[in-house]
Structure 1
Amino acid sequence: RLTRAVHPGGFVLGCNMTMHRDVAARIGPFDERFGAGGALRSAEDTDYLVRAMLAGMAVEYVPDMTIFHHHGRRDRKAIDRLHRDYHFGNGALCLKHIRRAPFLLRHFYWAARSAMRELAGGPRFDHELRLSHWPIVLMNLAGAAKFVLLVLARRPKRQAQPGKETNEAASAEAGAR
């Protein structure tokens, strides 16, 4: 059972999630900003599980359930892109839930700590595949930044109140004088 100490941030794959329809109705739809084809590229499944946990629902990982889910990635370039996309989405996920689920930041902390240790000759993320901790950290930061941009883009622009000039209009008028 996932808890704040053992939680879905970082690496939970939802390619074989199952739930009762009442649970899905209570949590709501997937956040379409996340996931393959979305602006945030991945973590739609983890976001859903975090939302379920925050709603007080039991979330369980059952390791003896097996599904074979081949993504079709056959070369190093495709694997690297998948790796980057996962960490991009996880950075956005951490920022989305920073107030209600700050425990998700543990994954960023661990990656940043490991990246710093790597500089001092410590172990890489995956020595065999030549994967470093640094792309994890950088993609987490890039995903968080993209999330901020998406949130800001959705905010309605302030309308000038009748009888009051906007700063831009006042600046333009002052510049014309």
Structure 2
Amino acid sequence: MPAHTFSFRPTTAGPADTAPRTPTVYFTLGTVNNTTDLFSRVLAGLQELPVNVVVTVGESVDPAELGPLPAHVRVERFIPQELLLPRCDLVVSHAGSGTVMGALAHGLPSVLIPVGADQPYNARRCLDLGTAEVLDPLTVTSEEVRTTVSAVLADGAYRRAAERVAEETNTLPGPERTVPLLEQII
């Protein structure tokens, strides 16, 4: 990184929920692409798993449009990640930077399905770090989603890698130190 680079943590993870329970998977494709065939394929694979599934669809999608879903699947337009992620075991997402950083800050493994922008880079980096598996948005099937999510949940190496990244990230300076530095630069 250039000499003038300053790394910081965008958030501090709260305490994880460690009580024995059914695993919870958070699924989002951000706030734009939730009406695509990709969204339907991923949701079809997740709803067949023996896990709780929390889905956020953004403002443009009415959760009722998804039709009847099993009781273990909850769909909302928006839930603040800082409230949701401490209760999750895995994140399935488009590899958007906010979702990836949130998952890593909470030590959560991911299954990433990058669609565009910086998402392929984010997904590749998570794959290199051992925190995620990456699926192809054009060809992924509901069966592939189901088997990949099951495998990542069952293999503790993904979680341990994500926890290592969280430990490193959470030692970086927070906003209380970053904001004055930015003000100084301006």
Q: Please, what TM-score do these two structures have when normalized by structure 2?
A: 0.24
Higher strand share: 2
Q: Comparing both chains, which one has the higher relative contact order based on Cα–Cα distances under 8 Å and sequence gaps of 6 or more?
A: 2
* Larger Cα-atom Rg: 1
